[in-house]
Amino acid sequence: MSTTPFPDGFLWGGATAANQIEGGYDQGGKGLSIQDVMPKGIMAPPVEAPTPDNLKLEAIDFYHRYAEDIALFAKMGFGVYRLSIAWSRIFPNGDDAEPNEEGLAFYDRVFDELEKHGIEPLVTISHYETPLNLARKYDGWVSRDLIGFYERYVRVLFTRYGARVKYWLTFNEINSVLHAPFMSGGIQTPKEELSTKDLYQAIHHELVASASATKIARELAPNAQIGCMILAMPTYPFTPDPQDVLKSLHTDHSNLMFGDIHVRGEYPGYALRILREQGVELDITDEDRETLKNTVDFVSFSYYSSVAESADPEVIREGKGNLFGGVENPKLPVSQWGWAIDPVGLRVVLNQFWDRWQKPLFIVENGLGARDELVEIDGRKTVIDDYRIAYLNDHLVQVGEALEDGVDLLGYTTWGCIDIVSASTAQLSKRYGFIYVDRNDDGSGTLERYPKKSFDWYSEVIATNGASLSR
Ligand code: BG6
């Protein structure tokens, strides 16, 4: 009999975000979100108003097809489904006094459906979908006012869903504000015009809002487990030169700082130094310092690739990864979008985070964005996605190794378990799913769903609790 390092009760599943899956961008009383004016993702500046070429407006129409999609997730044996709530469905303008009942009722129906199939929801409160009005009127998270609007929003969520949703994430990839200020922080001012202080002040406001959400959860949803969510990209020194090692440590710090604050409840010394050396004096009140002490229950993260760093300014930085990159690692293959493929890096990150924080971890994104070809076999349309199976298998084997290393891991949700619109490029052809969705980059397609080969593969992995992985 095969053995497995995955513990009983390990949460297997998949993940998506409202703006990339739902569509129905103007239905049910929803207001506009920043995504509705980002037809090209982060590849081009936002536009004034929604345009028909924006695939996210309809996305894959989960808004109407959620029951069918959740049934497919259940067929794979999902124990957990990570979804986000579109803030602008609940508060169409972000600063409204009262929530939109129709929006709340939509997620009631989604949670009912999940409950029916015994799937635990894992909810991201803010996943790159700040209400557009908050970007336009307040310049997003640069403004302290957003803390109050976010608090109002989470109070509504915890009151309404606190009894049925156990796992919550406060902000998706909170460290990405530095790299994608409009998408991640709803900051309207173009990146080139933002000062370093603006950026760190926006981040500070998000960190306070995140800690405040934890505090509110303790009061309104005592059974809730609150996690932070970090874009994990371990940095390897390009050479053994100590200067390269130091440079990678600094790059790592610029990401780890977010976990440190969420877990330890205060800014670490190295983060204060980063700010000091850049001449940034943050507006941090005594109340902020108190609020930050509301630390998280677990740490979640996305992992797609690692990156290398060098202290030598002559070394070319063409290494690509999710939202940011560094020096290309010649030892690693890359995806069709140039992201380094590094399964061992996932074991490295799991160990690094566990050693550092001793908090349960949750991998809430991992996967391969690839072009798929729909074929017909025995009268059934499908995709033979062996490349995706290989990617996921190799990463999961490393997760198993990390479990053997003693890491405490709650679960694993693959990114885009059904094909959705890409966040960075806004394409549908960058597919991550176990389920093919018939929609193309030009907007054509029937929106029909077709299970891929990986659908059966993942079902087997889940059914055997990881014993079927090829080591
Ligand atoms: C993460 C985001 O950055 O990576 C997701 O949380 C995103 O929203 C995912 O979709 C994969 O990135 P992309 O650009 O391939 O969609």
The tokens for 206 are 């998000």
pLDDT at 104: 98
Cβ 36 vs Cβ 132: under 8 Å: yes
Q: What is the pLDDT of residues 388-441, one digit of tens each?
A: 999 999 999 999 999 999 999 999 999 999 999 999 999 999 999 999 999 999
- C-beta atoms surrounding 7 within 10 Å: 12
Q: Which atom of ligand 1 lies closest to the CA of 421? A: 16
pLDDT at 245: 98
Q: What is the pLDDT of residues 367-386, one digit of tens each?
A: 999 999 999 999 999 999 99
Indicate if the pLDDT at residue 338 is higher than 70.
yes
Catalytic residues: 173, 365
Q: What is the DSSP letter of 228?
A: E
Q: What is the pLDDT of residues 15-52, one digit of tens each?
A: 999 999 999 999 999 999 999 999 999 999 999 999 99
Distance from C-alpha of 317 to C-alpha of 327, rounded to nearest angstrom = 4
Across 55-81, b (16+ Cβ under 10 Å) vs e yields bbbbbbbbbebbeebbebbbebbbbbb
Can you list the domains of the chain with their CATH numbers?
11-463 (3.20.20.80)
Q: What is the pLDDT of residues 130-183, one digit of tens each?
A: 999 999 999 999 999 999 999 999 999 999 999 999 999 999 999 999 999 999
Distance from C-alpha of 363 to C-alpha of 302, rounded to nearest angstrom = 6
**Burial environment of residue 442 by CB neighbours within 10 A (0 to 12, 13 to 18, 19 or more):** exposed
Indicate if the pLDDT at residue 1 is higher than 70.
no
Distance from C-alpha of 382 to C-alpha of 376, rounded to nearest angstrom = 6
Integer-rounded Cα Rg, in Å, for the chain is 21
Q: Residues 17, 22, 26, 28: what is their CA dihedral angle, to the nearest 10 degrees?
A: -100
pTM score of the predicted model: 0.98
CA dist 306 → 43, 162, 336 (Å): 22, 36, 16
The tokens for 176 are 């990405």
Q: Which of 126, 364, 365 to mutate to test the pocket of ligand 1 (most atoms within 8 A of CB)?
A: 365
Distance from C-alpha of 84 to C-alpha of 82, rounded to nearest angstrom = 7
Q: Which of 323, 424, 427, 429 to mutate to test the pocket of ligand 1 (most atoms within 8 A of CB)?
A: 424
- At 315, is the pLDDT very low, low, confident or very high (cuts 50, 70, 90)? confident
Cα of 115 to ligand 1 centre, how many Å? 27
For range 261-278, the mean pLDDT = 97
Q: Which atom of ligand 1 lies closest to the CA of 176? A: 3
Q: What is the pLDDT of residues 178-234, one digit of tens each?
A: 999 999 999 999 999 999 999 999 999 999 999 999 999 999 999 999 999 999 999
Per-chain mean pLDDT for the chain: 97
- C-beta atoms surrounding 44 within 10 Å: 10
pLDDT at 83: 98
Cα of 427 to ligand 1 centre, how many Å? 11
Distance from C-alpha of 451 to C-alpha of 75, rounded to nearest angstrom = 11
